[in-house]
Amino acid sequence: MSSSEHSENQNKIRQHASSSSLEDDKFVEAAIRGDQAAYKQLMNKYQKPLYYHVLKMVKHHEQVEDLVQEAFMKAFNNLDSYNTNYAFSTWLYRITTNHTIDYLRKKKLQTTSIDEPVKTKDGEMEIQISDSAETDREIIKKERKAIIHDAIKNLPEKYRNVIEMRHLEELSYQEISEQLDLPLGTVKAHIFRAREMLYKALIDKRDKF
């Protein structure tokens, strides 16, 4: 390829990126005004790329779907903070990456027992937590659970059922579909809507988390 052809291709790439960003900004502006179709346009555009992005970090396919949905919820509920001086895609990918890292960090903490000794270069070291620290942590955990359960109880029944089955009973999408005799697509849509409603209900109480 000649230098002129290479330069022409680079210009096309930049123009495409620029037109894509401008399109995103129009969708974001419409979404902030409450245009539901604009939300759908953004999801249709980025859902698959984000899925494969998260799949590089998390190998369980249904968990990847959950994380992508949750990342969209975080982004959509914080559109007012999006700075149009930067590409929307960059902002969305950063939210998704951070959310996935948080999930992996929490999962690692949950699977690490505090009773097991930690191996160091000087040998093994026991982890000891004071009674007061343990009590404080348990209190915070119970408060967090209570807040989430209250929020779930206030969901409309069809959304409450699917979110309880997914997150409390830990059923797969397919199992929920079969138990409720609903199409798989409907189950996913209900879970997405339930998460959206939960996030909005919980965002005002985030200081308690």
The residue-averaged pLDDT of 91-95 equals: 92
Q: Are 96 and 57 in contact (CB under 8 A)?
A: no
Whether pLDDT at 135 is above 80: no
The residue-averaged pLDDT of 61-72 equals: 88
Whether pLDDT at 39 is above 90: no
Query: Domain 1-113 is of which CATH architecture?
Result: Orthogonal Bundle (1.10)
Farthest-apart Cα atoms in the chain, separation: 71
Cα(209)–Cα(204) distance, rounded to whole angstroms? 11
The SS3 of residue 175 is: helix
Whether pLDDT at 115 is above 80: no
* pLDDT for 209: 43
pLDDT band at 2 (very low <50, low <70, confident <90, very high): low
Domain 127-209 has CATH 1.10.10.10: yes
pLDDT band at 155 (very low <50, low <70, confident <90, very high): confident
Which residue ranges make up each domain of the chain? 1-113, 127-209
For the stretch 42-60, pLDDT in tens is 988 998 999 999 999 988 8
Owner of token pair 């699917």: 162
180 phi and psi angles, rounded to 5 deg: -95, -5
Q: Which of 100, 205, 204 is nearest to 144 (CA)?
A: 205
Give residues with Cβ within 8 angstroms of 101, minimum separation 6.
Answer: 57
**pTM listed for this prediction:** 0.59
Which residues are paired to 124 by β-bridges? 119
pLDDT band at 208 (very low <50, low <70, confident <90, very high): very low
68 phi and psi angles, rounded to 5 deg: -65, -45
- Say how many CA atoms lie within 13 Å of 81 toward its Cβ: 8
Radius of gyration of the chain, Cα coordinates, nearest whole angstrom: 22
* pLDDT for 50: 92
Owner of token pair 């026991």: 126
* pLDDT for 130: 44
pLDDT band at 203 (very low <50, low <70, confident <90, very high): low
pLDDT greater at residue 18 or residue 175: 175
Q: Which of 201, 192, 200, 203 is nearest to 166 (CA)?
A: 192
Whether pLDDT at 92 is above 80: yes
Helices 88-111 and 36-55: angle between axes, nearest 10 degrees: 50
Q: Are 147 and 202 in contact (CB under 8 A)?
A: yes
Tokens describing residue 42: 């953004």
Q: Are 176 and 165 in contact (CB under 8 A)?
A: yes
Cα(80)–Cα(29) distance, rounded to whole angstroms? 9
pLDDT band at 188 (very low <50, low <70, confident <90, very high): confident
Q: Which of 64, 89, 92 is nearest to 78 (CA)?
A: 92
